[in-house]
Structure 1
Amino acid sequence: MVTFSFMAGIFHAYYTVALAPAVAAVVAIGAKEAWDARSRLLGSVTLAAATGLAACWSFVLLSRSADFVPWLKWLVIVVGLTAAVLLLVIDKIHAKAVPAVVAAALAASLAGPAAYSLQTVSTGHTGSIVTAGPTVAGANGGPGGQGGPGGQGGPGGQGGQMGTPPQQGTGTTGTGTGTTGNTGTTGGTGTTGTGTTDGTGRGTGGGMGGLLDASEASPAVVAALQANASSYTWAAAAVGSQNAAGLQLSSGEAVMAIGGFNGTDPSPTLAQFQAYVTSGQIHYLLASSGAGGQSGSGTASQILAWAKANYTQVTIGSQTFYDFTQPLTSGTASSTATS
Structure 2
Amino acid sequence: MSTSDAVTPAPPASDPGVLTAAPPGDRTGPAAAGPAAASRAARWRRRVPLLVLLLGTAVLYLWDLSASGWANSYYAAAVQAGTQDLKAMLFGSLDAGNFITVDKTPASLWLMALSARIFGFSSWSILVPQALCGVGAVALTYAAVRRWAGETGGLLAGAVLALTPVAALMFRFDNPDALLTLLLVLAAYAVTRALERASTWWLVAAGAAVGFGYLTKMLQALLVLPALGLVYLICAPTRFWRRVWQLLAAAGAMIVAAGWWVALVELWPKGSRPYVGGSTNNSILELTLGYNGLGRLTGNERGGLTGAVSGGTGGFPGGMPDGGMPGGGRGFGGFGGEAGLTRLFNDSMGGQASWLLPAALTLLVAGLVVTWRRPRTDAARAGLILWGAWLVTHVLVFSLMEGIVHEYYTVALAPALGALVGGGSVLLWHLRDPRPAPLADGSGVGAVAIAGGMIGVSGQNVATGAAEGPQTAISNAAPVSGGSAAGAGDGLRPWAAWVARAGLAAAVLVTGWWAFVLLGRVDWQPWLRSVVLVLCVVGAVALLVPWRAARASRFAFAGAVAAGVGMLAGPAAYTVQTVSTPHTGSIPLAGPASSGGFGGMRGFPGGFRPDGQNLPGQGFPGQNLPGQDGTGQGAQGQGAQGQQGQGGNRDGGGFGFPGGGMRPGGGMPGEAPADAELVKLIEGSDRTWAAAVSGAQSAAALELASGKSVMGMGGWSGDPAPTLAQFQQWAQQGRIGYFVGGGQGGFGGRGGSSQEIAAWVQQHYTALTVGTQTVYDLSKPLP
Into which bin does the TM-score normalised by the smaller protein fall?
A: 0.5 to 0.7
C-alpha distance in 2 between matches for 1:319 and 1:81: 60
Q: What's the counterpart of residue 215 of structure 1?
A: 672
Confirm or deny: 8 A CA contact 1:286 1:321 kept in the other structure: yes
Q: 1:43 to 1:19 in 2, by over 3 A?
A: farther
Show CA shifts across 1:9-29 (max 9, x none): 863547442442232122123
1:24 and 2:405 aligned:
no
Q: 1:106 to 1:217 in 2, by over 3 A?
A: same
Aligned with 2:430: secondary structure?
Answer: coil
Show CA shifts across 1:265-303 (max 9, x none): 43444455556657776543312459x9x9994511122
C-alpha distance in 2 between matches for 1:228 and 1:90: 77
Aligned with 2:775: secondary structure?
Answer: strand
Show CA shifts across 1:182-225 (max 9, x none): xxxxx95348x43259xxxxx99745546721233332212223
Which sits farther off after the overlay, 53-62 or 78-87?
78-87
Confirm or deny: 8 A CA contact 1:239 1:295 kept in the other structure: no
C-alpha distance in 2 between matches for 1:23 and 1:207: 36
Q: What's the counterpart of residue 529 of structure 2?
A: 73
**How far off is 1:71 after superposition?**
1.2
Confirm or deny: 8 A CA contact 1:49 1:84 kept in the other structure: yes
Q: 1:286 to 1:111 in 2, by over 3 A?
A: farther
Q: What's the counterpart of residue 299 of structure 1?
A: 753
**How far off is 1:238 after superposition?**
1.9
**Larger-Rg structure:** 2
C-alpha distance in 2 between matches for 1:90 and 1:28: 26
C-alpha distance in 2 between matches for 1:221 and 1:247: 8
Q: What's the counterpart of residue 539 of structure 2?
A: 83
Higher strand content, 1 or 2: 1
Q: What's the counterpart of residue 773 of structure 2?
A: 319
State the AA in 1 paired with 2:753: T
Q: What's the counterpart of residue 39 of structure 1?
A: 430
Q: 1:124 to 1:137 in 2, by over 3 A?
A: same
User: Which has the higher relative contact order, 1 or 2, with Cα contacts under 8 A spaced 6 or more apart?
Assistant: 2
Confirm or deny: 8 A CA contact 1:159 1:194 kept in the other structure: no
Confirm or deny: 8 A CA contact 1:225 1:251 kept in the other structure: yes
Show CA shifts across 1:87-134 (max 9, x none): 446997889888876665444333223333444454567886665444
Show CA shifts across 1:21-67 (max 9, x none): 232122123124412343334555444333322221111121223x4
C-alpha distance in 2 between matches for 1:314 and 1:305: 16
State the AA in 2 paired with 1:194: Q
C-alpha distance in 2 between matches for 1:161 and 1:77: 52
**How far off is 1:245 after superposition?**
5.0
Q: 1:103 to 1:253 in 2, by over 3 A?
A: farther
Alignment partner for residue 11 of structure 1, among 330, 335, 354?
335
Segments of 5+ residues of structure 1 without an aligned counterpart are: 149-155, 165-175, 177-186, 198-202, 332-339
Confirm or deny: 8 A CA contact 2:428 2:504 kept in the other structure: no
Q: 1:60 to 1:188 in 2, by over 3 A?
A: farther
Confirm or deny: 8 A CA contact 1:248 1:254 kept in the other structure: yes
1:258 and 2:713 aligned:
yes
Alignment partner for residue 50 of structure 1, among 497, 501, 507?
507
Q: What's the counterpart of residue 519 of structure 2?
A: 62
- Give the TM-score normalised by the residue count of structure 1: 0.62
Alignment partner for residue 570 of structure 2, among 104, 109, 112?
112
Segments of 5+ residues of structure 2 without an aligned counterpart are: 1-295, 300-328, 337-347, 350-404, 432-496, 598-606, 630-634, 658-667
Show CA shifts across 1:161-185 (max 9, x none): 7799xxxxxxxxxxx9xxxxxxxxx
Which sits farther off after the overlay, 25-34 or 263-272?
263-272
Alignment partner for residue 284 of structure 1, among 733, 738, 753?
738
Confirm or deny: 8 A CA contact 1:286 1:320 kept in the other structure: yes
Confirm or deny: 8 A CA contact 1:235 1:254 kept in the other structure: yes
Higher helix content, 1 or 2: 2
Q: 1:214 to 1:136 in 2, by over 3 A?
A: closer
Confirm or deny: 8 A CA contact 2:693 2:711 kept in the other structure: yes
Aligned with 1:320: secondary structure?
Answer: strand
Q: 1:28 to 1:72 in 2, by over 3 A?
A: same
State the AA in 2 paired with 1:227: G
Which sits farther off after the overlay, 234-243 or 218-227?
234-243
Q: 1:123 to 1:313 in 2, by over 3 A?
A: same
C-alpha distance in 2 between matches for 1:59 and 1:88: 21
Q: 1:215 to 1:135 in 2, by over 3 A?
A: closer
State the AA in 2 paired with 1:247: L
Alignment: residue pair count: 289
Confirm or deny: 8 A CA contact 1:247 1:255 kept in the other structure: yes
Q: 1:264 to 1:85 in 2, by over 3 A?
A: same
Aligned with 2:756: secondary structure?
Answer: helix
**How far off is 1:252 after superposition?**
5.6
C-alpha distance in 2 between matches for 1:125 and 1:208: 24
Q: What's the counterpart of residue 391 of structure 2?
A: none
Q: What's the counterpart of residue 337 of structure 1?
A: none
State the AA in 2 paired with 1:68: W
